[in-house]
Amino acid sequence: MSVTKRIGKDGTIRYEATVYFYVGKKRHQVSKRGFRNKKEAKRWEVKKYEEVEKNGRPICSRKLTLKEVYDQLLTDKHNHYQYNTLYNTKKTLHYWYGDDAVINLGEMYVDKITYCDIQKFFDARDNESINVN
């Protein structure tokens, strides 16, 4: 069990909890930050260890599509990126989501996207860069 004390730039104290577990021989970790006190962090950590004991790995709280994760990233992190980065990111959305998309990755659940799906997406877009030049 690992609970770490973090001190922010403004002097606020937050805690981070990390849970380590094995799937086969491979070691994994799950962590969460932002706990206001050590007791909350310990509670979360114990809950995750119970999930690992019961299921062999922690349970994802809900299934998200790639579009939902994309929207959440843009709303949560819009202060951390330059305007042009956000603009260009939004501009490329139609390549992988919507009616124009060759493969609609946006409606797929993140845990179900495979390497083959991503490779098909890039293979389908292979000729587009040649046409632009």
- Name the percent of the chain in helix, strand, coil, to the closest 5: 45, 20, 30
Q: For the chain, which ranges sit under pLDDT 50?
A: 133
pLDDT at 37: 92
pLDDT at 63: 81
pLDDT at 133: 47
pLDDT at 64: 85
pLDDT at 55: 78
Cβ burial of 132 (10 Å; 0-12, 13-18, 19+) is exposed
Q: Taking a C-beta distance cutoff of 8 angstroms, is the pair 19, 52 a contact?
A: yes
- CA–CA gap between residue 74 and residue 123 (Å, rounded): 26
pLDDT at 132: 52
